[in-house]
Amino acid sequence: MMQRTVPALFIITVLAGGVNAQTRPSQTSAADVSQAFKPLFEMYCTTCHNQTRKSGGLALDSLNTGNIGENTAVWEKMLQRLRARRDPPIGMAHPDEAVYETAISTAERALDHAYPTDRTLNSSNRVSDAELAMRMSKFIWNGVPDSILQDAAKKGLLEKPAGLKQQVRRMLKDPKAVGIVAGFLEPWALPNSLDKAQNADEDLRKALGTETRLFFESQIHDDHNALDLWTANYTFINAGLARHYTINGISGDEFRKFTFTDNTRGGILGQGSFLTVTSFKDRTSPVVRGKTILTTFFGIAPPPLLPNVPPLKPNDNRPMRARMQEHASNPVCSSCHLTFEPMGWALENFNLVGQWRKTDAGETIDASGSFIDGSKFNGPAELRAGLVKYKAAYYSNVTQKLLGYALDRPAKSWTVHDDEMPAVREILREAAAHDYRWSSIVLGIVKSVPFQTNAVASSSN
């Protein structure tokens, strides 16, 4: 598809809701997004996503924009990709940022009205206070209610917003909130078990695991913005881990909070645990690291592997980038790899166990890359700064996963059903007013209809 210049009329039309005074109908269905999406599809999408080509198995020229409720699954997936600015693909023209935002908000409003199920709480579908207390303790502590929570349930305090908020905040400050760290944050952020990593010995694995666990606990107990998982300028280390990271001035076996003096490391992407489990036993993997960022933090899976793709050739003393460029020389392979691999290259200065290096096979490491929209980065600091542009996609994804965890859905996938997405959006709207702090997201989940209704147990299978 050739790049096109976006007509000013098109942008004005979309920003105005897609219609002007001459064309505005007297009444518009709440599920009709035609005026916003038809010109968007025609300008950027249907050259590839049509009945003939069906790129990605999607034909947008036949998608009913007049009734978004006809195929909510497609629209929810499309929204997820639009938030992360994953479309149009690399090299194609991209809409103005304001057009993205208006299209997203238009689709969200329509989808919130599209689902037929009742999304209000009432006495007939709300669980008992005792059951709610059990769910809260399982969610936040991975345990049972304490006497304070039981007493609040007996007194009916959990039915009042102030009482519910007080209990959630108390529970997150309690040491037992390590349950949400061990049950959700660690398995969510680390795609593979650190215990099984073959590129580190047992002592190093334990140290890296302790660093990440203490970091996550501080995120919850100190009630950080959820985005701080990427951007935090601190970690927890002891003398042994400080030596591993070549950090001076740390002594003793006890782990303590350490604030970085530069922006080389930051958040989970700069921790040895993440960098180790996204490497192989004998080398780094920009592919695994890039795919993990895309799938874990944005909830977007790349296309499946093509059949009969040969493995990377054994190390021949060339830098990883040169080996990978030869490996991905197939145009079909490279077009897919470009959607996630550059993010992995930004972390290539970290070796297979998270130590900083400047060279690979005797050559200076090239840690540059670009996002799908063309914006460039070089190294981990610029990658983190660039990822923040897509924070709306991150907030949405982490809230979905955390809600799925709270509803006791199967581990790692923590699926949220399409008709539960309006609840996710309501949680996010309320969390936005509180800087997206963990307590606001957790409280929103506890208050949500999916969490408080009797349907939870039957919908978790």
Q: Output the tens digit of pLDDT for each of the chain's 461 residues.
A: 333 334 333 333 333 334 343 333 333 478 899 999 999 999 999 888 888 888 877 888 899 999 999 999 999 999 999 999 998 888 888 899 999 999 999 999 999 999 976 667 676 789 999 999 999 999 999 999 999 999 999 999 999 999 999 999 999 999 999 999 999 999 999 988 898 899 999 999 999 999 999 999 999 999 999 999 999 999 999 999 999 999 999 999 999 999 999 999 999 999 999 999 999 999 999 999 999 999 999 999 887 776 666 667 677 777 877 777 766 666 666 667 778 999 999 999 999 999 999 999 999 999 999 998 889 999 999 999 999 999 999 999 999 999 999 999 999 899 999 999 999 999 999 999 999 999 999 999 999 999 999 765 434 34
CB 353 within 8 A of CB 199: yes
**Is residue 377, in this structure, part of any structural domain at all?**
yes
CB 293 within 8 A of CB 214: no
Answer yes or no: do 247 and 340 share one domain: yes
Q: 3-state class of 437 per DSSP?
A: strand
Answer yes or no: do 271 and 378 share one domain: yes
Answer yes or no: do 249 and 381 share one domain: yes
Answer yes or no: do 195 and 101 share one domain: no
CB 107 within 8 A of CB 68: yes
Answer yes or no: do 194 and 49 share one domain: no
Answer yes or no: do 367 and 227 share one domain: yes
Count: domains in the chain: 2
**Is residue 176, in this structure, part of any structural domain at all?**
no
Please identify, among 362, 389, 416, the residue that sits at the C-terminal boundary of a domain.
389
Residue 219's nearest CA partner among 264, 184, 254, 192 is: 184
Answer yes or no: do 73 and 193 share one domain: no
**Is residue 454, in this structure, part of any structural domain at all?**
no
Give the C-alpha separation, 322 to 327, whole Å. Answer: 9
Beta bridge partners of 258: 235
Contacts of residue 64, defined as CB under 8 A and 6 or more positions apart, other chains included, come to 70, 71
User: What tokens does 310 get?
Assistant: 């040969």
Answer yes or no: do 107 and 190 share one domain: no
What's the confidence (pLDDT) of residue 142?
A: 97
Domain assignment of residue 372, given as a range: 186-302+317-389
Give the C-alpha separation, 407 to 451, whole Å. Answer: 6
CB 439 within 8 A of CB 172: yes
Please identify, among 93, 112, 131, the residue that sits at the C-terminal boundary of a domain.
112
**Is residue 174, in this structure, part of any structural domain at all?**
no
Answer yes or no: do 87 and 218 share one domain: no
**Is residue 450, in this structure, part of any structural domain at all?**
no
Where do the DSSP E strands lie in 23-179? Answer: none
Contacts of residue 244, defined as CB under 8 A and 6 or more positions apart, other chains included, come to 204, 207, 272, 353, 354, 355
Q: How many CB atoms lie within 10 A of CB 26?
A: 4
What's the confidence (pLDDT) of residue 59?
A: 84
Q: How many CB atoms lie within 10 A of CB 20?
A: 12
What's the confidence (pLDDT) of residue 5?
A: 36
CB 38 within 8 A of CB 83: no
Answer yes or no: do 203 and 339 share one domain: yes
Q: Where are the alpha helices (DSSP H) in 278-410?
A: 286-292, 298, 320-327, 331-337, 341-345, 379-387, 391-406
Answer yes or no: do 87 and 208 share one domain: no
Answer yes or no: do 93 and 233 share one domain: no
Please identify, among 389, 421, 453, the residue that sits at the C-terminal boundary of a domain.
389
Distances (CA, A) of 348 to 153, 206, 221: 51, 23, 32
Question: Rounded to the nearest 5°, which phi and psi values hold at 246?
Answer: 55, 45
* Angle of CA points 388, 391, 395, to nearest 5°: 145
Q: In one letter, which amino acid is 383?
A: L
Question: Rounded to the nearest 5°, which phi and psi values hold at 376?
Answer: -105, 160
* Angle of CA points 80, 82, 85, to nearest 5°: 115
**Is residue 270, in this structure, part of any structural domain at all?**
yes
Q: Which residues of 46-63 are buried (b: 16+ CB within 10 A; e: fewer)?
A: bbbbbeeeeeeebbbbeb
**Is residue 457, in this structure, part of any structural domain at all?**
no
